[in-house]
Every structure is written in structure tokens, then in C-alpha cells.
Structure 1
Amino acid sequence: MKTKTVSFTATTLPRLTDEQRASLTSLAARPDSEIDYSDIPEITDAQLKTGVRGRFYRPVKMQITARVDADVLEWLKSQGKGYQARLNAILRREMLNALK
């Protein structure tokens, strides 16, 4: 039996039914004190210390056109395959240093 994969974007989502809207409205109106956390394990201090932020984060790649000095491009390419990834890594390192 074949399985059909259905995908939606923000613009192609089906409209909510009146029943779904009413359910969401009633949930939003409930105070936080009524939320049942009994089935969620509490996070320990040890877990917080070993946790890694953004571990599964993958930034969206965008195709651009950029003018780079010829000697810079040759230097990147001379290090082997993956010069675009290296260029991105260099730019990301500089961005993170500037944000500190």
C-alpha cells in the first residue's frame, strides 16, 4: 500500500473549522495554572549543564551573487573542494565575534 505524503506551506494550509477555532479560543483563555505537567519529566541541573543550545538548528541557505577579489577566491579554492562552505564558515565566525 502506497503512502501519500502531504505537505503544506503557510499559504496553502487548509482553513480552520469553526469547531477548531472554538477549541483554540477556549484553550488560550485557560490560565497557566490549569496546565497538567504530570506526564513531562522535570529537567535536572545535570541535564541543564550538559545541554547544547541549537544542536539541531540548520540555518536556511540562500543563493547570492557576490563579488570577491580574485586572489581571495583562488586561496579558498586552493584548499580543495568546499570553498563555498569555507567562505560561509569564515563569515559566520566573524559574525559571531562581532555579536560578542
Structure 2
Amino acid sequence: MSKKPVKHEVELANLPPLSAKQKAELAALAARREGDVDYSDMPPLSAEFWKNAEQGKFYKPTKTSTTVRIDSDVLAWLRSQGKGYQSRINAILRREMLSSLK
């Protein structure tokens, strides 16, 4: 028996009103003191844990298709490096972007 996934789109600018039960749950959560929260299933992370952490390791930026006019000699040089000249263009631009942000 296969089940079809249910798709439901919500317009964030126009959210449906909360029910009385939802409002009561939120009020009960807001009234809790910090000390009443059970963190036993989530132990604190030490500095040792974060020592080898990599920022943005799994970040994959979205891509946007665009048209760019590039000098012929620059494009020829990029293409002469082999496959992936568009990725190289992006890497060069990203490197420049990051250096200008520092």
C-alpha cells in the first residue's frame, strides 16, 4: 500500500490563527522557568567538541542562472584549464567577495 505525500503550502505573511489549545500550550511554555527544562537528553558541549568543527561544511548555496559578458581572452584562459570553467569563475568571484568582506 503506497501513501501519497501530503503537500500543504503556508503563506508566512498570512498565517492561520492559533487555536485556543495552541495558545494555551504556548502560554504554558512561556510560563516555565529555565530551571524546569529537562536537558538530560542534550548534554552541554565542551570546547573540545568544537575544536575540530568546520563552519559551513554542509552549506550548499543556491545557484542563479545569469548572463555575463566576459572578455574573450579571459574566457579562453578559463576554458583552457579544462572542464568546469563556470565553477572556476564562481570560485574566483567568491574569493574576491570574501576578501572584500574582511
TM-score clears 0.5 = yes
Larger-Rg structure: 2
Change (3 A) 1:74 1:16: farther
| Number of aligned positions between the proteins | 99
Q: Which residue of 2 aligns with 1:51?
A: 53
Q: What is the TM-score of this pair, normalised by structure 1?
A: 0.75
1:48-91 CA-partner distances (Å, limit 9, x unpaired) = 11111111111111111111111111111111111000000000
1:5 CA drift (Å): 3.7
Match of 1:94 among 74, 89, 96: 96
Please, which runs of 5 or more residues in structure 1 have no aligned partner? Answer: none
When the two chains are superposed, the root-mean-square deviation of aligned CA atoms in Å is 2.5
Distance 1:21 1:75 in 2: 62
Q: Secondary structure at the match of 1:84?
A: helix
Gaps of at least 5 residues in structure 2 are none
Q: Which amino acid aligns with 2:56?
A: G
Identity %: 48
Q: Could you tell me which residue of structure 2 aligns to residue 66 of structure 1? A: 68
| Matches for 1:29-48 after TM superposition, within 5 Å | 30-48=32-50
Deviation, 1:41, is 2.0
Worse-superposed segment, 29-38 or 76-85: 29-38
